Amino acid sequence: MPTPMPPARDRAAALLGLLGAAGNVAGVAFLRDVPVAYLPGSLDEWARLSALHPAATAASAVSFVAGLLALAGWALAVGRWAGTRAAGRGAAAAATGAVLNGAGCVAPLVLVLHVLPGCGGEACGPVARALLGVTLSLDALFNLLLGLGLLALGPALWRRGERALGALGLLAGLASVPVALQVASVQAARLLYVAAPLWLLFVLWTSARLFLARAAPSGAAGLPRAA
C-alpha cells in the first residue's frame, strides 16, 4: 500500500469547502415548504409554492449561489492536491458546473422578486416555467460535471495513498452522474438523496484534510503534475 501523501495546508480552500457544504444544505432547508423544487413535471407547482413562500425561496437561492461559488474554489484546490492533469481537468469541470449552477439559482430569485409581483395567475406561467426550467437544467448539468470531476479526483487521491477518500470520491461520482437525468426524470432527481450526502461528505473530509495539514515546505509549490 502506498504511503499517503498529505496535502499542503490550504485553510482558505478548506473554508470554501465548508461554506460550499453549508450553503447547499441551507439552500435545501429553506425549501422545506417547496418540496417539488427541482422536480421535472412540477414547474407550475414549484412556481405556485414559490409565490406562497417568497422569502424562503429568495433565501434558498442566495444560499445556493454562495455555496456553489465557494464549491468552485474548493474543487480547484482539491484538483491541485490530487496532483494529476486528469484530476485537474476533473476539478475544473466540477468548478465550471458549480459556477453555472450558481448562475441558474438566480432565476428563482428573479421569479419571486421581479416576475410574480408584476403578474398574476396564468399570465405568469410561461415565464415562470422558463426561469425554473433553466434552474433545473443547470442543476442537472452541475450534477453531471460534479460527478465526472469526482470520478477523476477519486483515482488520483487513491494513487496518492488516500484510499478511503479516493474510494468515497469514486462512489460519490458514480452516484452523481445519473442525477443529471433529473431534467426529465423524477426517479433520477430522487437519486440526489443518495448522491448529495456522499459528495457533501467528500467535501467535508477533504476540507478537514486541507485545514489540518502541515504547511507546505519552502519550494514545494509549482511541482509538475503527473499525467
Q: Where are the domains of the chain?
A: 19-212
Identify the sign of the CA torsion 57, 60, 66, 68: negative
126 to each of 34, 118, 119, 131, 139, how far by Cα in Å? 19, 14, 11, 9, 20
With cut-offs at 50, 70 and 90, classify the pLDDT of residue 222: very low
Identity (one letter) of the amino acid at 54? Answer: P
Compute the Cα dihedral for 32, 35, 37, 39 and give only its sign. positive
Q: Is the pLDDT at 65 greater than 80, yes or no?
A: yes
> pLDDT of 90-133, one tens digit each?
999 999 999 999 999 999 999 999 999 988 767 889 999 999 99
CA distance 69 to 104: 12
pLDDT grade for 219, boundaries at 50, 70 and 90: very low
* Residue 84, SS3 per DSSP: strand
103 within 8 A of 43, measured Cβ to Cβ: no
